[in-house]
Chain A
Amino acid sequence: MPDRSTAPPKRHRAARTVGLLGAVALLGVILVLSIAVGAKSLPLADVWSGLLHRDAAEYAVVHRMRLPRTLLGLLAGTALGVAGAVMQALTRNPLADPGLLGINAGASAAVATAAFLGVTAIGGYVWFALLGAAVVTALVYAVGGGRGATPARLALAGAALNATLYSFVSAVMLLDTASLDRLRFWTVGSLASADSATVTRVAPFILVGLLVALGAARPLNALALGDDAARALGARPAVIRAAVIVAVTLLCGAATAACGPIVFVGLLVPHLVRALTGPDLRWLLPYCAVLAPVLLLGADVLGRVLGRPGELQVGMVTAVLGGPLFLWLVTRGRVAHP
């Protein structure tokens, strides 16, 4: 904004830039850790040679398993973090999280349908997931987007949708044991099944979704002032809302198709980041995009360390880590009032 009285001082901008660089560095550390830690731990030198040298002993481990898994964690984390941030901005609701509101569960229900129909390749069921996410996103927005929907009520409506969709998923698992065996690992939320085909299949959707979301940052800032003020500032509320719904659908649908419904990442990261950046989405979104994969991959690495000799699924780890923070947000009392 050109107005000098509202523009942040220069040193704020410098601090935020430095902070963002620090976050990127942190992400780099986590990426390396995610490649190094696992059933067979690799020293740093081996990670490097495994990445670069085709004839190194670690090449197969790194390229077949660890690298796709890490890249998928990066993509899915970014997608969920950014989707949570824009959902919170769009619904003006601090509890909006794609997991809690049922968007990821919508994608899951669609994927379960696909599995029941025999569509088990990611290239096929990613479309189902997108459709499921789109339907629930539109529904959530219809219920909670307007005036009068309080955080608690929207969360309750989302929880009810979640319950419905999960009972549908378990009905599918019940009717078909083959689907059960596949879906029970997927519905927890896990990066373990990642391969390069999955990554290349979902990456385009997530990248497009990210671009749309980042492009909507400035007009969404305006929309926070109310529709009239936003229009006066040159934004078109209906277009922005449609764009955000498209972005959330792409991000959540693709992320869920690849690694299952993961809750709390989209809730936690924007809340933590807001403490650093304030509500300006032009800073909030890049921070979320960098720090959400830090959380997701961190949880994944933690699950691999804690669950030895097997592993704990990342969805379980984020639920157990993120749940208490959600409870803290809620019991602190700021959002609890109807």
Chain B
Amino acid sequence: MTVIRTPGGLSVRFRPRALAVGVGAAVLAAGLGLVAMGSGDYPMGPTDVLRTLTGGGSAAEQFIVTELRLPRLVTALLVGAALALGGTVFQSLVRNPLGSPDILGFTQGASTGALVVVVLGGGSLALAGAAVVGGLATGLLIYALAWRRGVHGYRLVLVGIGVAAILTGVNGYLLTRAPLMDAARAVLWLTGSLDGRGWANAGPLLAVTAVLAPLLLVACAPALRMMELGDDTANALGVPVRRLRLVLLAAAVLLVSFAAAAAGPVSFVALVAPHVAKRLTRAPGPNLLPSMAVGSALLVGADLLAQRAFTGHQLPVGVVTGVLGGGYLVWLLAVERRAGRL
């Protein structure tokens, strides 16, 4: 723990290791992004990409970089950061390393909203809107069902699992109601894909993240750390636990829902990124900023892999995160079991 004091009496407290991890992951994300922007049917070197980004390059290169590849990259960075931030808040709130929004029903709710639009027939904008509405409605439902003189971690987990199971059934049913081509489109969306994402997809998510990330990082992070000590302790330390939990949940649900609206419910980023960040920083408490950076790097890396791993066949990014995340999860279950934490 290092403290920097300014002459004016301000002080900033930080962990050097956490800072290094955050910066390192951000640099990694940027580097992977540079590679991703340079690769494709029109390959470009990193220097060419940088030159084009700063205003040089031919008109064709300008178009390819700023209109096709940059929006996709920005969407990937934002979705990764938003999912990781939401996941970190969830895991911290329910005090369980498995308590991520894809397991607790929020993602399924966003999917239900999107599927309703697919079945009724609607454009991609309506689909994104419905995903946000579905995610928020599910969040509200879970909160209301789990409420009993305040919401406690484990009831939230179990209610979330129940709601997730119900919604999985509903989603499967909706999928059978759509014509085959629409169903294929829906499955693509449900898996999570960054194909053809433009500024219209990145914009709303950017706005939400720009508002909520500073709120969570600056205003809520210290209180969240105290809440990990238990509700009573946090109360005694002056944290308004009940109100804060509502704010945190709302913020996390918003982040996850908007991320799902932008790229579909990309699985396991919200689960894995906080773990990776925690292992790297070795710091107690929620590592919000390092998690965001790790989430971005993870998603950009996964997207690069998904685009280039099989020549001639582009996978949606959700397949890569699903496979990697699933493997990680099995390993995690084994480790947690051995350590007696599960």
- The residues of A with any CB-CB pair to B shorter than 8 Å are 95, 99-100, 139, 142-143, 148-149, 152-153, 155-157, 159-168, 170-171, 173-174, 177, 180-181, 184-185, 187-189, 263-264, 312-313, 315-316, 318-320, 323, 326-327, 330-331, 333, 335-338
Contact = CB atoms under 8 A, between A and B. Distances in A.
A53 to B, nearest CB: 35
Residue of A152, A155, A170 with highest tally of chain B CB at under 10 A: A170
Given A159-B103, A160-B98, A188 B159 contact: no
A157 B98 contact: yes
Interface of B: 96, 98-99, 102-104, 145-146, 148, 152-155, 157-159, 161-166, 168-170, 172-173, 175-176, 180, 183-184, 187-188, 190-191, 267-268, 271, 316, 318-319, 322-323, 325-326, 329-330, 333, 337, 340, 342
Contacts of A152: 154, 157-158
A125 to B, nearest CB: 19
Nearest to B104: A159
Contacts, number: 159
A159 B145 contact: no
Contact of A174 (B99, B191, B337): B191
A156 B156 CA distance: 11
B98 A156 contact: yes
Contact of B267 (A161, A163, A335, A336): A163
Contacts of A338: 153-154
B321 to A, nearest CB: 8
Contacts of A333: 148, 155
B231 to A, nearest CB: 13
A299 to B, nearest CB: 11
Contacts of B333: 139, 143, 157, 160-161
27 contacts: A100-B161, A143-B342, A153-B342, A156-B96, A156-B99, A159-B165, A160-B103, A163-B268, A167-B268, A170-B322, A171-B322, A171-B323, A174-B191, A174-B316, A177-B180, A180-B184, A181-B183, A188-B176, A315-B172, A315-B173, A316-B172, A319-B165, A320-B169, A323-B163, A327-B145, A335-B158, A336-B154
B169 A318 contact: yes
